[in-house]
Amino acid sequence: MENETILVTGGTGSFGQAFIKRVLLENPRKIIVFSRDEAKQHAMRLELNDERVQFEIGDVRDRERVFKVMRGVNYVFHAAALKQVPSCEFFPLEAVKTNVLGTNNVIDAAEENNVAKVVCLSTDKAVAPINAMGISKAMMEKIATSHRGYTSVCVTRYGNVMASRGSVIPIWALAAETGDNLTLTNGSMTRFLLTIEDAVDLVVYALNYGGMGDILIKKAPATDMATLAWAVKEIYKSKSNITETGARHGEKQHESLIGQEEMARTIDMGDYFKIVPDTRDLNYSQFFDGSAESIGEPYTSENTERLDLNQVVDLLKEVL
């Protein structure tokens, strides 16, 4: 990315801030942070104090604004999204406006402005989705992977980023420090565990190795929520109680990063998986040879590497 102009939508979020710090090490010509929150932009401007970083107020829902901010950009990293499962459940149309229509605006603007590549950030909740956030992200993926044109568009898909803004770990950490109860919905639920550095690594990997329509996934361990809560208690030597409240709207027992049907198009890249696009057109008959694709087991938080209490404690020490 040396001497290139980079645009990061939703650039003031947890991922955006970590990613921009990484990109600055590669000496880009300019990084444009495009987001809606002027307070977060102001705080980030003061923290970075780098003339290469330019802040632009705007919303991916605003098609005209997106087209304007894309001028002269070489690479786009699309992180702007509505991400909270419960809020999207209550306001699903808002999820559609940002996650689906906003993504379409970003890709159309990139194509119109001859952007070389767009990397879109997705989520494990897009696989066999049962909630509005996951459904909107699944549609985002379809828009991204169906694009054909000058601009190469690929997708990264990852699970929960540990200690990111709005996630449960900082909430539990505060409760452990103050002696309040650590509340979880269901202790037997499992979730992938990814550090913010892992998420940044995945996106950089996608820039270098993701082709048109590819979905890139970083292999990740998982744990159950009860073990995660106990690990937080262990770090803070807390005597707080752990209480279960029952599943919230739209929560899954286990999350998936690769669906069963997708496994037939998945390539093992070592530390990563790549799901290649289905490039057939609507004339299916000319491709059908009478054989069926082999379908493997999905890649889920239930069947991936499972971390025990001590391993989760060690991982949490990296982010707390």
- The single-letter code of the amino acid at 23 is V
- The single-letter code of the amino acid at 83 is K
- The single-letter code of the amino acid at 120 is C
Phi, psi of 49 (to 5 degrees): 50, 55
**Interhelix angle for 225-236 vs 168-178, to 10°?**
40
Task: Give dist(CA 216, CA 269) in Å, integer.
Answer: 10
Non-local (6+) Cβ contacts of 58 within 8 A are 34, 35, 36, 65, 66, 69
Q: Which of 40, 83, 117, 125 is catalytic?
A: 125
Closest CA to 119 of 27, 34, 29, 216: 216
State yes or no: is 125 an active-site residue: yes
User: Among all chains, which residue has been given the structure tokens 């169906």?
Assistant: 146
C-alpha distances in angstroms, 303 versus 58, 172, 223, 255, 299? 41, 26, 10, 10, 7
**What count of Cα atoms within 13 Å lies in the side-chain half-sphere of residue 128?**
15
Catalytic residues: 125
